[in-house]
Structure 1
């Protein structure tokens, strides 16, 4: 395997950053904002909205899916780019 180049590092950093933002950062901010921890608006018996989450769950999901999308694009890039010469780890095997 070759050493990671700038595209490898950029894809890893961007995807990790997006997923960590969606899962960890926004989750910690949601916890620090206080209750409710529900991902949907909370209503009382009359149907009035009494509490809403700080971040919409679709926003957090979008961050995570964007990170997964970056990894998918990176995988497609690695499939279509040719390997440099001399990097294949093939050894000859003698037939019995």
Structure 2
């Protein structure tokens, strides 16, 4: 197995950062903003909107999907790039 290069590290950091931002960080911001914790608008019996979430759920979902897309692009990159030859680890063995 080869060590991760700069593209490997960048893809891992970017995808993890986007997914953590969309779930953990913005979730904590929602909690700190106070109730309600619902991702949809809350209405009363008359149908009036009495509370909305602070962060739009589509923004949070978009950040998580962007992180998954980065991982998909990274996987496609790894599929099309050739594996480096490890010549130092190979030994020629005589056939019987």
| Deviation of 1:45 (Å) | 1.0
Structure 1 residue runs of 4 or more that deviate by more than 3 Å after TM superposition? 89-92
Tell me the alpha carbon deviations over residues 5-45 of structure 1, each in whole angstroms, 9 at most, x when there is no partner: 00000000000000000000000000000000011000111
Q: Find the residue that maps to 1:50 and give its secondary structure.
A: strand
Q: Find the residue that maps to 1:54 and give its secondary structure.
A: coil
Q: Find the residue that maps to 2:50 and give its secondary structure.
A: strand
Tell me the alpha carbon deviations over residues 43-83 of structure 1, each in whole angstroms, 9 at most, x when there is no partner: 11111101000011111111111000000000000000001
Match in the other structure for 1:82: 82
Q: Find the residue that maps to 2:22 and give its secondary structure.
A: helix
Q: 1:90 to 1:75 in 2, by over 3 A?
A: farther
| Deviation of 1:90 (Å) | 7.9
In structure 1, runs of 5+ residues without a counterpart are none
Q: How many residues align?
A: 91
Match in the other structure for 1:37: 37
Match in the other structure for 1:11: 11
In structure 2, runs of 5+ residues without a counterpart are none
Normalised by the length of structure 1, the TM-score is 0.89
Cα separation, 2, equivalents of 1:81 and 1:56: 38
